[in-house]
Amino acid sequence: MFVTIINDCRDDNTMGRQTTRAAKLFGNVPIHTVGIEWNELEGAGNLIDMIDASDHEEGVIMVNVAPRYGRGKKWPNGTPFGFFWYKRTLVVSTIAEQTLSLAKKFGLAKELQLTDIATVVDAMIAKGKLPSDMRNIIVNSQFRSYDYMPRLANWVWEGEEVPSEKYSFENVEDVRPTIWWIDNFGNCKTTVLPGEIGFEPGKKIQMKFGELLCYRHLKDLPNEEAGLIVGSSGLRDKRFLEIVVQGKSAADHFKLKVGDEIL
């Protein structure tokens, strides 16, 4: 079993608290963390990558992208949490805008179980699974991915009946052809799959910022030349396209950032 935490609360203090709590709840299992900015697409892509990395082994992936500004203000205290199973992996996640957009694109599930924090907490207190003096702490928490999300994951993992309602993936936003991650080399991972644009080596693809030539491997690009390759991120035989510049940062070269549309 494994536990992976994907969270926009990513400094040492917050990640340390989250991993300590997960260790307390799940016991002696490997716990891994992925710190992201506050863009839902980063959470979306990393969820796909972590599922792929697990090779369908049993485990828990917790995803939290919950900005309280902009569109996040439509929720009473941040976006709600839901959960679904993909094979033997339990996914517990916020449902903000595009956090689950790539899960929808890859058909990981048709629906999830949406929870209300107060309702779940009250039910667990009634079952004796939670001390009553924890209610206000969890319900009013400013750090819900620490106070609520890991407890919810543990209750579901242990087979507790958690109050929830069905939430169709049809309600999840469709993902646009955008950049969801920029790695430390400046390579830009996109939400686009090869078949969606007819990718083939030697073919030129028109992007918003210019024309790119398709290459089979990164090594095939001439020095300092830009191109489009099939990257390592994705699930099974579906791998995302990446914008690269040989020996340089494609993000700097084209002035790209996460969330930019490319087609």
For residues 257-262, average pLDDT: 97
Which tens digits make up the pLDDT trace of 141-197? 999 999 999 999 999 999 999 999 999 999 999 999 999 999 999 999 999 999 999
Same domain, 32 and 157: yes
What CATH number does the domain containing 240 carry?
2.40.30.90
Does an H or E element contain 113, and which? strand 111-114
Is residue 68 scored above 60 in pLDDT?
no
Is residue 76 scored above 80 in pLDDT?
no
- The residue type of 194 is P
CA 212-218-222 angle, 5° bins: 70
* Percent with pLDDT over 90 in the chain: 92
* Residue of 248, 233, 184, 177 lying closest to 207 (CA atoms): 177
Q: Considering the entire predicted model, what is its pTM?
A: 0.95
Tokens standing for residue 242: 């990446």
- Among 115, 142, 171, the domain-final residue is 171
Q: Domain range holding 209?
A: 179-254
Same domain, 28 and 99: yes
- Domains in the chain, number: 2
Please tell me the predicted confidence (pLDDT) of residue 209: 95
Same domain, 164 and 186: no
> In 7-43, which positions are buried (b, 16+ CB within 10 angstroms) versus exposed (e)?
bbbbeeebbeebbebbeebbeeeebebbbbebbbbbb
| 115 in Cβ contact with 162 (< 8 Å) | yes
Is residue 71 scored above 90 in pLDDT?
no
| 40 in Cβ contact with 180 (< 8 Å) | no
What CATH number does the domain containing 155 carry?
3.40.50.10790
